[in-house]
Amino acid sequence: MNSSVDEMARLLADYNNSDSLIYGIGNVGRQDDGLGWAFIDWLESESICPKAELMRHYQLHLEDADMISYKKQVLFVDASKVPELETFQLENIKPKMDFSFTSHAISVESILATCQTCFDYMPKVQFLTIKGYEWNLQLGLTTKAKQNLKSATDYFEQYINSGVTNE
Amino acid sequence: MSKKLVIDPVTRIEGHGKVTIHLDDNNQVVDAKLHVVEFRGFEKFIQGHPYWEAPMLLQRICGICFVSHHLCGAKALDDMVGVGYSQNTPMLPTAEKMRRLGHYMQQLQSHVTAYFYLIVPEMLFGMDAPPEQRNVLGLVEADPDLVKRVVALRKWGQEGIKAVLGKRMHGISSIPGGVNQNLTIEARDRLLNGEEGLISLDDAIEFAQDGLNLFYNFHEKNRKMVDTFADVPALNMCLVGDDDNVDYYHGKMRIVDKNKEIINELDYHDYLDHFSEATEEWSFMKFPFLKALGREAGAVRVGPLARVNVTKSYSDSTPLAKAALERFHDYTNGKANDKTLHTNWARAIEILHSAEQIKVLLNDPDLQKEQLVLSYDQSMWSGEGIGVVEAPRGTLLHHYRANQEGNITFANLVVATTQNNTVMNRSVRSVAEDYIGGNAEITEGMMNAIEVSIRAYDPCLSCATHAAGQMPLVVSVLDSKGKLVNEFIR
């Protein structure tokens, strides 16, 4: 976890409105690549942020720059392969044209930069990444990925249960 | 000292391929090959699944042309349950028109992706431009208004897919004998008139014309290069209707030669009687060819360039595309066009053609009718079906067999990229000879020219071998003993 996660976790409450989007990225047919969708599943099952728009997609598209231009804030959630990441990370995203585009992949930073350049608007964007381990053609998260997902949801839940969070 | 150049993987295509180029001691090209180095085997793992799952599962081969796979599978299922084209059973009008509408929507958004996101940046900035500039994000910085329009156009296509198939990706609408929903008035009007955040149909047609004009301007400024780049021979194949015009959903398979003489015309159910597939140990992708002509003379090109070569004209109901097609045909004096970069011209025409076809369908009241599925019973079960459609990248075939319990026992997919395997390899060889041969120093731009020749086909190696891809690029230059003498990484 990065150092500012405590502060940002409290902000999950801010997403409980129709101007917010929580966007799970991944493929549930490829094991831990389903972590982004699993986080959305958790929000739905616990009725957290019911007023926010919740979305699941396999990958980001350039059109997502248009979509987020209609939102005040966006939380992207994806699985991570980063070796240094232990469980999960929540970070604020700044626009950056990193020329990562293929028709199968584009970075969150580039989506934000495209939104800023083409639509002259920049929503607040945060990116939650949860560590995954296996990516083969198979349904279901690995045990370790499930533990990381639980670490992330527990972290948000403690604020929800303490009444600091959403309506 | 002879050299071997390797581009591995090729970038901005769907899937994982690599190119090797062998040079002799004088740096002349001895050999050049496009290898497809991935394999997943959807045809195998679908076996044992209930037949009705095939169009749902097999569309997941691809995140771009999934509607084509879905419809191709659906047509095969129509045959299997006894109400398909193999039984000469016409579809109900609403069902056929819904399938066509979804297909044109997908063609529009697929072509827009390939053309504007993957090809136009190179047209505007040049093949020699730095890699970080010659992609769509470079385009965002250089011309944000153009990108804004492109994003709006693709979004409109995706919303159309969602309206017809229920989801932006991998939706399900076709079922054996028909479709499971019609198009609501609300959905129709939303696509026709647009709304906040969604362009109208007329906007889509206007933006499609912008795309065509981009090609005209590029062609005007780079005529010699565009006309001579990978000008390689092949027969041309696509589905045609009774009017001799391309039919993207159903028709006869027509193959024409350079003079547009019909070499062969067949019912696609007889495909196996006419085509064979060669294999090579250096690639997972097969090489289809017409048996009667042999592997070299019988290789066909499919996709946008092949379709505009084969089609006699377009309908009067698509006047803008029809005029654009006439200009295309006039350019080669009515002969078939073998110029690989003209594939992008053809693709731009087809974006416009799709938009105009969508206009015709959205204004057709049949889409709101209630009769959606042909009735059938167990006695009509044939257990075998073949579907063919013109996918964005070309002719796509699905062939299934199932047992009496309804479980799949056999599946064969012949995708457009596989059909284009031979002509893509010819293009690679041609560009290697023209851009690399004779040069002691190989630049990044020269290597990119090889990729440009491949990208013109918008190949989907994921479809062709049924695997997911990775996109970083490593170009290695090896001497005759396999020693690394140079390397490009991006």
- B208 and B123 fall within a common domain: yes
> DSSP string covering A111-166, please?
HHHHHHHHHS---EEEEEEEE----SSBSS--HHHHHHHHHHHHHHHHHHHTT-S-
Residues of B in contact with A106 (CB under 8 A): 137
Q: Is the pLDDT of residue B84 over 90?
A: yes
Q: Which residue of B has its CA nearest to A66?
A: B151
Residue B93, preceding peptide bond in cis (omega within 30° of 0): no
Q: Six-digit token pair at B183?
A: 């198009």
Residue B59: name the closest of B191, B204, B166 by CA: B166
The one-letter amino acid at B255: I
- B330 and B348 fall within a common domain: no
Look at residue A166 and tell me if it is in a domain: no
Residue A158, Cβ neighbours under 10 Å: how many?
12
The one-letter amino acid at B463: C
Say how many CB pairs under 8 Å bridge A and B: 72
Domain span including residue A126: 5-161
Residue where a domain stops, chosen among B318, B338, B358: B338
Contact between chains at A118 and B140 (C-beta distance less than 8 A)? yes
Look at residue B119 and tell me if it is in a domain: yes
Look at residue A15 and tell me if it is in a domain: yes
Could you give the CA distance from residue B89 to residue B458 in angstroms, rounded to a whole number? Answer: 34
Look at residue B315 and tell me if it is in a domain: yes
Which letter, b or e, does each residue of B239-266 get, where b requires 16 or more Cβ atoms within 10 Å of its Cβ?
bbbeeebbbbbbbbbbbbbeebeebbeb
Look at residue B80 and tell me if it is in a domain: no
Look at residue B389 and tell me if it is in a domain: no
Q: Which residue of A has its CA nearest to B468?
A: A104
Start-to-end C-alpha separation, chain B: 26
Contact between chains at B154 and A62 (C-beta distance less than 8 A)? yes
pLDDT, tens digit (0-9, with 9 covering 90-100), for B7-49: 665 654 555 667 788 888 888 888 877 776 555 578 888 899 9
Domain span including residue B199: 90-230+339-373
- B354 and B295 fall within a common domain: no
CATH assignment of the domain containing B160: 1.10.645.10
Look at residue A88 and tell me if it is in a domain: yes
pLDDT, tens digit (0-9, with 9 covering 90-100), for B428-449: 999 999 998 888 788 888 888 9
Could you give the CA distance from residue B356 to residue B296 in angstroms, rounded to a whole number? Answer: 37
Q: Between B203 and B452, name the one with better pLDDT.
A: B203
Q: Residues in chain B whose beta carbon is closer than 8 A to a beta carbon of chain A?
A: 11-12, 14, 40, 60, 63-64, 113-114, 117-118, 131-132, 135-138, 140-141, 144-145, 147-148, 151-152, 154-155, 158, 168-169, 197, 468-469, 471
Residues of A in contact with B148 (CB under 8 A): 66, 118-119
The dihedral sign for the CA sequence B299, B305, B308, B309? negative
Look at residue B391 and tell me if it is in a domain: no
Measuring CA to CA, how many Å separate A73 from each of A23, A50, B165, B426? 11, 15, 29, 50
Look at residue A24 and tell me if it is in a domain: yes
- B434 and B477 fall within a common domain: yes
- B279 and B269 fall within a common domain: yes
Contact B301, B424 (CB under 8 A): no
Q: Between B237 and B442, name the one with better pLDDT.
A: B237
Residue where a domain stops, chosen among B312, B338, B364: B338
Say what the pLDDT of residue B65 is.
83
Could you give the CA distance from residue B98 to residue B453 in angstroms, rounded to a whole number? Answer: 35
Contact between chains at B154 and A63 (C-beta distance less than 8 A)? yes
Instruction: Quote the number of domains for chain B.
Output: 3
- B226 and B359 fall within a common domain: yes
Residue B301, Cβ neighbours under 10 Å: how many?
32
Measuring CA to CA, how many Å separate B128 from each of B307, B424, B490? 30, 21, 14
Residue A80: name the closest of A145, A151, A29 by CA: A145
Look at residue A167 and tell me if it is in a domain: no
pLDDT, tens digit (0-9, with 9 covering 90-100), for B246-264: 999 999 999 999 999 999 9
Q: Which residues make Cβ contacts (< 8 Å) with residue B124, sequence separation at least 6?
A: B139, B142, B143, B214, B218
Residues of A in contact with B471 (CB under 8 A): 102, 104-105
Residue B434, Cβ neighbours under 10 Å: how many?
18
B158 vs A29, A63, A113: nearest CB:
A63
Contact between chains at A66 and B132 (C-beta distance less than 8 A)? no
Look at residue B289 and tell me if it is in a domain: yes
Q: Is the pLDDT of residue B400 over 60?
A: yes
Look at residue B378 and tell me if it is in a domain: no
Helix axes B144-165, B93-112, angle to 10 degrees: 160
Q: What is the ipTM of this complex?
A: 0.78
- B311 and B362 fall within a common domain: no
- B23 and B131 fall within a common domain: no
Instruction: Quote the number of domains for chain A.
Output: 1
Could you give the CA distance from residue A125 to residue B391 in angstroms, rounded to a whole number? Answer: 37
- Record the pTM: 0.88
Measuring CA to CA, how many Å separate B221 from each of B124, B225, B469? 11, 9, 34
Residue A52, Cβ neighbours under 10 Å: how many?
23
Say what the pLDDT of residue B172 is.
84
Contact between chains at B140 and A113 (C-beta distance less than 8 A)? yes
B140 vs A58, A70, A114: nearest CB:
A114
CATH assignment of the domain containing A53: 3.40.50.1450
Look at residue A114 and tell me if it is in a domain: yes
- B368 and B222 fall within a common domain: yes
Q: Is the pLDDT of residue B484 over 70?
A: no
pLDDT, tens digit (0-9, with 9 covering 90-100), for B157-192: 999 999 999 877 778 899 999 999 999 999 999 999
Spacing of C-alpha B315 from chain mean position: 22
B140 vs A63, A97, A137: nearest CB:
A97
- The position carrying tokens 């042309």 is B65
- B150 and B192 fall within a common domain: yes
**What value does the mean pLDDT take over residues B52-61?**
83
Residue B395: what are its φ and ψ, rounded to 5°? -65, 125
Could you give the CA distance from residue B212 to residue B350 in angstroms, rounded to a whole number? Answer: 9
Interface test with B, best of A55, A63, A96 (most B CBs within 10 A): A63
Helix axes B201-221, B342-362, angle to 10 degrees: 170
Look at residue B357 and tell me if it is in a domain: yes
- B155 and B295 fall within a common domain: no
Look at residue A105 and tell me if it is in a domain: yes
A99 vs B60, B63, B135: nearest CB:
B135
Q: Six-digit token pair at B397?
A: 């075939």
Contact between chains at B117 and A101 (C-beta distance less than 8 A)? yes
Average pLDDT along chain B: 88
Look at residue A81 and tell me if it is in a domain: yes
Contact between chains at A104 and B14 (C-beta distance less than 8 A)? yes
Instruction: Spell out, as residue ranges, where chain A has pLDDT lower than 50.
Output: 1-3, 165-167
- B97 and B188 fall within a common domain: yes
